[in-house]
Amino acid sequence: MSPILKVVVGGSRKGGAVKRGSLVMVAVLALVVGAVVGVVGARLGGETATGGGLADLAEARGLDGQQAEAALKTFVPPGEYDEYYMFASGGHSGQVLVIGVPSMRLLKEIPVFTPDSWQGYGYGTDQGNTVLAGGSDQDKDATELTWGDAHHPALSETEGDYDGRWLYINDRANGRIGMVDLADFKTKEIVDIPNISTSHGGVFVTPNTEYAHISSMTPMPFTENGYADLSEYNEKYRGVSSWMAIDQATGRFDLENSFQIELPPYTQDLADAGKLTSFGWGFINSYNTERAVGGDAEGGEPIETGAIAADYDFLHIINWQKAAEVVAAGDYVERNGMKMITLQTAIDEGLLYLAPEPRNPHGVDVNPTGDYIVVSGKLDPNVTVFDFEKIQTAIQNQDFQGTDDYGVPILNFDSVVAGQVEVGVGPLHTQFDGDGNAYTSMFVDSAIAKWTLGTKAGVSEADAFKLVETIPVHYNIGHLVTAEGDTVAPDGKYMVALNKWSIDRFPSVGTLHPQNFQLIDLDSSPLQILYDSPIGVGEPHYVQMIKTDKLTSRLDVYPVGTDPATMTTSEFATAPGEERVERNGSVVDVYMTALRSHFTPDILRVKEGDTVNLHITNVETAADATHGFAVPQHNIEASIDPGEVVNISFKAVKSGSFAFYCSEFCSALHLEMQGWLLVEPK
Ligand code: CUA
């Protein structure tokens, strides 16, 4: 921390509670800034660019001491970089947002499940269209999906720490998972997970990205035609835990080595991977273990009533390492192309155990040392902390309180719990810093509770499992994130609250309000909100925060001739001077280059009914020298990044003269970067 900030932080504690406009505030602020200017006056030059001192400037803007301090903590000077990337799911926008921290500036939107015209994703290029199409059910009668509900991003890890290689994200609506390569921030693959219809929070990677896990949310019938009446819910519907093996060279899904575990028909929800002490295990929450199916218009009760009847639901405890051995030994069935361990095998082999967890839990989060598994019951004011060592002892001693209706052993609650902390109303998700503290979001209270873990997280016996403080947020928080908070080595430093409602926090933009990401300083005591950041794109659900310098594979330009789908040289790469048109019957292949400020060739002559395959190489080597390619009336729009080869195939069904153009403002003669597609009538 710079001397300037140290002085401001130290001095402003007193000013924290001072309200805007009061004389006391001005006096305190003058003291604070006076101290700053006094200590490092030479560096600040004594006066601001506008003439007065910093205190005058703050006063003129109506900022109290704490607000002026927040401005200094979040400001990233023009041309300088943020310390962290935050990868946020874009909710039903289907995309991923990349946001800088602490500035909270939106850096990019990465299209995953939904087409994006700026990046030419889903607008005629083979690359985007193929990725999007791969995520739809391959059944010929299936509906093509052009949106997703992007929910839980999971950054790839090595030894439990983010390694900056890949990002996985699930589609809550359709039970799919996508993979983004962080070398070029592009989606490379979407897989429609067999035997899963919807998936909420069951996404995580194991500590070396051996697997990306995705579980079902709503159970579905395992029947030939995918149908079973709800009267057969208990017998025919099942949940699924999927362990998608990851190709360690490419980050893509390796279906051959992936497997699933059949689960009881509970609503499996949030999940997390064990790490360090608990490596090899995974944990999934569930609710609606009552198996309510609704029917409020048929004389029954709504699901929300039936699903909260019991005092406990079940934490699922899964030994994935042993499950992989069971699959390797051939003890599985094949279901829709996936290897599946049946529920009976999972029970017989000791792969699956349950632990009671207080009412209708949402978050389950494993602490950095892997010793504690934190669960929040939405209808319980406590967070419940399970102890992994106690879980193992209970399993070994068969310390069971019984089995569920499907024969899965239920561990004795009192034998496996390390502690409970009363935090407030509506606890949901928990994140961690590196100092043994946990932070739990509370939806109903619109607040975050800071509390301490136990001795295995380095907390003294006397301080263990205690509420430290609570900070209000604005409003209705869902998830939260701390810097690298899902790893074995969280940074602390920053926390972001993902608030669902923003009501009065921003100027009105109509009846649909933006979300509000609130940046919180974890080094302040009491905790301090630094910044409100409106997110007017989709409904971000969860985020992960990674140090920018960890993305070491990041490319600024592609080597010329690269196909982003394979990250190798494209067979269609075209060098300047080699541009050509090849006609084979009614199929026309065009090998084109793009270079400021022309396409070569710039006149394309085809005949009505021809199939046209455009192969366009951007031969630029300068970073940011991107060209676009837009064809009127054809719904074709490509982004051709420097070095990239883009393939576009279409049938020239309509005769006419079409003036294609570069859609990216690339140069002074950008408007001149155009050409003709001449489709001669039959
Ligand atoms: Cu190339 Cu505009």
Q: Does the beta carbon of 220 sit less than 6 angstroms from any atom of ligand 1?
A: no
The 8-class DSSP code of residue 105 comes to -
Q: What is the enclosing helix (H) or strand (E) of 60?
A: helix 54-60
The per-residue pLDDT for 309 is 87
The per-residue pLDDT for 4 is 38
| For helices 3-12 and 65-74, angle between their N-to-C axes, nearest 10 degrees | 150
- Per-residue pLDDT of 514-524, as tens digits, reads 999 999 999 99
- Give the separation between CA 334 and CA 341, rounded to whole angstroms: 9
Virtual torsion, Cα 137, 140, 141, 145, nearest 10 deg: 40
What band does 141 get if pLDDT is binned at 50, 70 and 90? confident
Which residues touch 257 (CB under 8 Å, ≥6 apart)? 245
Q: Does the beta carbon of 638 sit less than 6 angstroms from any atom of ligand 1?
A: no
The per-residue pLDDT for 140 is 65
Range list of H helices, 362-477: 388-396, 413-416
- Side by side, the strands of the sheet bearing 447-452 are 427-432, 437-442, 447-452, 467-472
Report, as an integer, the average pLDDT of 113-137: 92
The per-residue pLDDT for 600 is 98
What band does 681 get if pLDDT is binned at 50, 70 and 90? very high
Distance (Å) from CA 659 to ligand 1 centroid: 14
- Per-residue pLDDT of 288-325, as tens digits, reads 999 999 999 999 899 988 888 888 999 999 999 999 99
Size of the chain, expressed as the number of residues it contains: 682
Distance (Å) from CA 640 to ligand 1 centroid: 10
Please check whether residue 35 is in contact with residue 41, taking contact to mean a CB–CB distance below 8 angstroms: no
- Give the separation between CA 49 and CA 59, rounded to whole angstroms: 15
Distance (Å) from CA 625 to ligand 1 centroid: 8
Q: Does the beta carbon of 173 sit less than 6 angstroms from any atom of ligand 1?
A: no
- Per-residue pLDDT of 197-223, as tens digits, reads 999 989 999 999 999 999 999 999 998
Rg of the chain, C-alpha, whole Å: 28
- Per-residue pLDDT of 39-90, as tens digits, reads 444 344 457 777 789 999 999 999 999 999 999 999 999 999 999 999 999 9
Closest ligand 1 atom, CA of 661? 2
Q: Does the beta carbon of 673 sit less than 6 angstroms from any atom of ligand 1?
A: yes
Angle at 109 between CA 104 and CA 110, to 5 degrees: 135
Q: Does the beta carbon of 627 sit less than 6 angstroms from any atom of ligand 1?
A: yes
Which residues touch 235 (CB under 8 Å, ≥6 apart)? none
Q: Does the beta carbon of 252 sit less than 6 angstroms from any atom of ligand 1?
A: no
Averaged pLDDT score across all residues of the chain? 92
Does residue 30 carry a pLDDT above 60?
no
Torsions phi, psi for 69 (to 5 deg) = -65, -45
- Per-residue pLDDT of 586-620, as tens digits, reads 999 999 999 999 999 999 999 999 999 999 999 99
The 3-class secondary structure across 354-378, one letter per residue, is EEEEECCEEEEEECCCCCEEEEEEC
276: tokens are 């360090």
- Give the separation between CA 370 and CA 242, rounded to whole angstroms: 21
Distance (Å) from CA 422 to ligand 1 centroid: 59
What band does 384 get if pLDDT is binned at 50, 70 and 90? very high
Q: Does the beta carbon of 664 sit less than 6 angstroms from any atom of ligand 1?
A: yes
Distance (Å) from CA 254 to ligand 1 centroid: 39
Q: Does the beta carbon of 63 sit less than 6 angstroms from any atom of ligand 1?
A: no
Report, as an integer, the average pLDDT of 483-498: 97
Higher pLDDT, 267 or 18: 267
Closest ligand 1 atom, CA of 667? 2
- Give the separation between CA 584 and CA 470, rounded to whole angstroms: 71
Closest ligand 1 atom, CA of 671? 2
Picking from 273, 440, 450, the residue whose alpha carbon sits closest to that of residue 370 is: 273
- Give the separation between CA 487 and CA 485, rounded to whole angstroms: 6
Distance (Å) from CA 82 to ligand 1 centroid: 29
Distance (Å) from CA 581 to ligand 1 centroid: 22
Q: Does the beta carbon of 641 sit less than 6 angstroms from any atom of ligand 1?
A: no
Q: What is the enclosing helix (H) or strand (E) of 8?
A: helix 3-12
Closest ligand 1 atom, CA of 663? 2
Q: How far is CA 117 from the centre of its chain?
A: 21
Q: Does the beta carbon of 670 sit less than 6 angstroms from any atom of ligand 1?
A: yes
Angle at 430 between CA 427 and CA 432, to 5 degrees: 150
What band does 15 get if pLDDT is binned at 50, 70 and 90? very low
Picking from 366, 325, 376, the residue whose alpha carbon sits closest to that of residue 346 is: 325
Distance (Å) from CA 670 to ligand 1 centroid: 4
- Give the separation between CA 140 and CA 377, rounded to whole angstroms: 42
Distance (Å) from CA 398 to ligand 1 centroid: 69
Closest ligand 1 atom, CA of 664? 2
Q: Does the beta carbon of 338 sit less than 6 angstroms from any atom of ligand 1?
A: no
- Per-residue pLDDT of 227-240, as tens digits, reads 999 999 999 999 99
Q: Does the beta carbon of 573 sit less than 6 angstroms from any atom of ligand 1?
A: no
Distance (Å) from CA 593 to ligand 1 centroid: 12
The per-residue pLDDT for 136 is 82
